């Protein structure tokens, strides 16, 4: 049986039961093998840009006896993934910029029946901005830790509706709906990074083009109001 670390377990928990899943940037294909072995998904697609990682995926799929349930596709992002071939799309372990770029190149994902599960390793704010600018609603965010690093996974769906959010939303998304220690740590770490960036700008006499001062104030205000279960 495939065992996942906490990061990938959290990603797996955001995939809908019974959905045909496409794992983009699959590498070892642990996620898709786990989802099928656990009976969460009946079948799926494991796709990667490079041959090496796709070979890793093939090995996992063969060893798990899932060759009839997993289609392996060499693909740059969603380019070779056919519309209507999946219900849930997972993009995990890549940077937020790359995930946003991959999503921006596939218009067919603008479909309210498709659930996108994204776990950016960096620049989650770029991905949230992409979702907001393109009519997607972020439904839920979860956090996980491997003890050292904290990770965030979000699920999003196309609605075509414009949404109104505060200035800090691209940094915290739906995270304030959670009430757990890892989410608190995730936001606290991000706040420290934002403060460092802001004070470096100020000491260099630069303008605060990203309005970081106001972003920091808004996040701190929300943190004070949130009754964290700590």
Ligand X SMILES: C[S@@+](CC[C@H](N)C(=O)[O-])C[C@H]1O[C@@H](n2cnc3c(N)ncnc32)[C@H](O)[C@@H]1O
Helix (H, G, I), strand (E, B) or coil at 30: helix
In the bound state with ligand X, the residue whose beta carbon lies nearer, of 64 and 219, is 64
In the bound state with ligand X, the residue whose beta carbon lies nearer, of 62 and 202, is 62
Please state the length of the chain. 230
Among 33, 86, 102, 132, binds ligand X (CB under 6 A): 102
If one counts every other C-beta atom within 10 angstroms of the C-beta of residue 176, the result is 17
User: Is residue 10 a contact point for ligand X (CB under 6 A)?
Assistant: no
The residue range among 19-27, 128-136, 152-160, 220-228 that interacts with ligand X, by the rule CB under 6 A, is: 19-27
Closest to 29 measured CA to CA, from 57, 66, 1, 48: 57
Shortest Cβ distance from residue 128 to ligand X (Å)? 19
In the bound state with ligand X, the residue whose beta carbon lies nearer, of 53 and 96, is 53
Among 21, 81, 94, 175, binds ligand X (CB under 6 A): 94
Contact 190, 196 (CB under 8 A): no
> Beta strand 150-158 with 136-145: parallel, antiparallel or unpaired?
antiparallel
Shortest Cβ distance from residue 168 to ligand X (Å)? 27
Contact 130, 104 (CB under 8 A): yes
**Count of residues that bind ligand X according to CB under 6 A:** 16
Among 15, 24, 116, 219, binds ligand X (CB under 6 A): 24
DSSP symbol at 136? E
Shortest Cβ distance from residue 156 to ligand X (Å)? 17
Among 10, 19, 26, 143, binds ligand X (CB under 6 A): 26
User: Is residue 183 a contact point for ligand X (CB under 6 A)?
Assistant: no
Among 93, 95, 135, 213, binds ligand X (CB under 6 A): 93
Q: Give the residue at shortest CB distance from ligand X.
A: 93
Closest to 153 measured CA to CA, from 175, 131, 180: 175
The span from the CA of 45 to the CA of 55, in Å, is 14
For the segment 32-91, give every residue that binds ligand X (CB under 6 A).
Answer: 48-50, 53, 76-77
Shortest Cβ distance from residue 145 to ligand X (Å)? 15
The span from the CA of 101 to the CA of 97, in Å, is 6
CA torsion sign for 26, 80, 117, 170 is: positive
The span from the CA of 9 to the CA of 190, in Å, is 22
Which residues here bind ligand X, judged by CB under 6 A?
Answer: 8, 24-27, 48-50, 53, 76-77, 92-94, 98, 102
């Amino acid at each position: 049986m495939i065992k996942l670390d906490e990061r990938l377990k959290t990603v797996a928990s955001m995939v809908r039961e019974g959905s045909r899943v496409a794992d983009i940037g699959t590498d070892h294909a642990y996620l898709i093998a786990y989802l099928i072995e656990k009976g969460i998904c009946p079948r799926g697609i494991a796709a990667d840009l490079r041959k090496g990682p796709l070979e890793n995926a093939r090995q996992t799929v063969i060893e798990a006896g899932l060759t009839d349930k997993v289609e392996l596709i060499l693909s740059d992002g969603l380019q070779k993934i056919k519309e209507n071939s999946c219900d849930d799309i997972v993009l995990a372990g890549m940077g937020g910029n790359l995930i946003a770029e991959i999503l921006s190149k596939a218009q067919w994902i603008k479909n309210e029946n498709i659930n996108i599960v994204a776990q950016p390793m960096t620049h989650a704010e770029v991905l949230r901005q992409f979702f907001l600018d393109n009519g997607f609603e972020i439904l839920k965010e979860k956090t996980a830790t491997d003890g050292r690093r904290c990770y965030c996974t979000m699920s999003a769906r196309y609605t075509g509706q414009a949404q109104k959010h505060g200035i800090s939303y691209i940094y915290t998304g739906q995270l304030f709906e959670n009430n757990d220690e890892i989410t608190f740590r995730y936001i606290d770490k991000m706040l420290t990074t934002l403060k460092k960036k802001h004070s470096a700008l100020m000491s260099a006499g630069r303008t605060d083009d990203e309005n970081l001062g106001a972003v920091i104030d808004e996040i701190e205000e929300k943190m004070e109001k949130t009754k964290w279960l700590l």
